[in-house]
C-alpha cells in the first residue's frame, strides 16, 4: 500500500466536490451586547393582562331552579300517565272479553237494524285511531265493567257491559249488557252468555 502525498489527496477531494476545511463565517461588525444580571428577573404584574374590575359589587343572584324542576316533573308525570293510559287501553282492546262482546254485537240482528252493517269499535283521534275502553277488566277478581263506542253504517252508540263472578269456579253473571244508540233506542242484550 502506497501513501499518497498531501497535494494529491487535496486534488482528489476537490474533484469530488468535497471540502475538508470549514467555511469561514461572516465577519462580525459589532460585538454582541451582553447584560449580566445579579438575580432572577421580576415577573410581570398579573393585572396587566387581567385588569381588576372597576367597581366592587356583590355577586349576581342565582336564578331559581325550582320552576324548571317543577316543569320537568309535570311533563314527566304527564308523559308517564299518557303512556300508562295507552298501554292499559291496548290491553283492554285485545282482551278476550272485549273480543267476545264485539262478536255478540256483530251477530245481533236487532242491533244491525239500528246501527247498520259493519259494526265496529269507534276510534279516537288522540289514540291514533284506536277505540277508548272505559272501565276495568279484572277476570281474576271476578269483576268486568266496561263501556266503549261502536259505530255501524247507519249510526253509532255506546256499549255498556257489566259482569261479575260471585265465587271462584262459578261462571260470570252478566248484570248489564246494553247498547244506547245516539239517536235514542236502547238495545238490551242480557242473556245467558258466560265467559
Per residue in 31-64, pLDDT (tens digit) is 778 888 787 777 766 666 666 666 777 888 888 8
Is the pTM above the cut of 0.75?
no
| Cβ 107 vs Cβ 100: under 8 Å | no
Exposed, middle or buried, 104 (CB in 10 Å: 0-12/13-18/19+)?
middle
Could you write out the DSSP letters of every residue in 97-129?
A: HHHHHHHHHHH-HHHHHHH-SS-EEPB-GGGTT
Which backbone phi and psi does 37 adopt, to 5 degrees?
-100, 145
pLDDT confidence of residue 65: 87
pLDDT of residue 194: 46
Cα–Cα distance for residue pair 141/153, rounded to 1 Å: 37
CA distances from 61 to 31, 57, 58, 97 (A): 63, 12, 9, 61
Q: What is the dihedral of CA 148, 152, 154, 157, to 10 degrees?
A: -10
What's residue 97's pLDDT?
93
Q: Cell numbers at residue 47, please?
A: 393585572
Q: Contact 152/112 with Cβ under 8 angstroms?
A: yes
| pLDDT (0 to 100) of residue 78 | 97
Q: What is the pLDDT along the chain (195 residues), one digit of tens a residue?
A: 556 555 554 555 445 555 566 777 777 678 778 888 787 777 766 666 666 666 777 888 888 888 889 999 999 999 999 999 999 999 999 999 999 999 999 999 999 999 998 899 999 988 888 999 999 999 899 999 999 999 999 999 999 999 999 988 899 999 999 999 998 888 888 764 544
As given in the structure block, the three cell numbers for residue 24 are 469561514
Gyration radius (Cα) of the chain, Å: 48
Q: Any residues with CB less than 8 A from the CB of 159 and at least 6 apart, and which?
A: 101, 105, 146, 147, 148, 149, 150, 178, 179
Give the per-residue pLDDT at 45. Answer: 66
What pLDDT score was predicted for residue 195? 46
Q: Which CATH number is 88-188 given?
A: 3.10.450
Show me where the domains of the chain are located: 88-188
Amino acid at each position: 500500500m502506497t501513501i499518497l502525498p498531501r497535494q494529491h489527496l487535496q486534488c482528489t477531494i476537490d474533484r469530488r466536490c468535497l471540502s475538508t476545511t470549514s467555511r469561514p463565517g461572516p465577519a462580525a461588525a459589532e460585538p454582541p451586547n451582553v447584560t449580566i444580571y445579579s438575580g432572577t428577573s421580576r415577573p410581570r404584574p398579573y393585572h396587566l393582562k387581567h385588569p381588576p374590575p372597576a367597581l366592587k359589587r356583590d355577586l349576581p343572584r342565582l336564578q331559581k331552579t325550582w320552576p324548571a324542576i317543577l316543569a320537568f316533573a309535570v311533563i314527566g308525570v304527564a308523559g308517564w300517565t299518557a303512556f300508562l293510559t295507552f298501554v292499559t287501553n291496548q290491553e283492554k282492546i285485545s282482551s278476550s272479553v272485549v273480543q267476545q262482546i264485539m262478536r255478540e254485537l256483530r251477530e245481533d240482528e236487532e242491533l244491525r237494524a239500528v246501527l247498520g252493517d259493519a259494526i265496529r269499535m269507534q276510534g279516537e283521534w288522540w289514540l291514533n285511531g284506536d277505540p277508548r275502553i272505559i272501565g276495568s277488566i279484572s277476570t281474576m277478581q271476578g269483576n268486568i265493567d266496561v263501556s266503549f263506542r261502536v259505530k255501524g253504517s247507519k249510526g253509532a252508540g255506546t256499549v255498556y257491559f257489566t259482569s261479575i263472578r260471585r265465587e271462584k269456579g262459578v261462571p260470570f253473571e252478566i248484570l248489564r249488557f246494553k247498547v244506547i244508540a245516539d239517536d235514542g233506542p236502547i238495545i238490551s242484550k242480557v242473556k245467558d252468555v258466560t265467559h
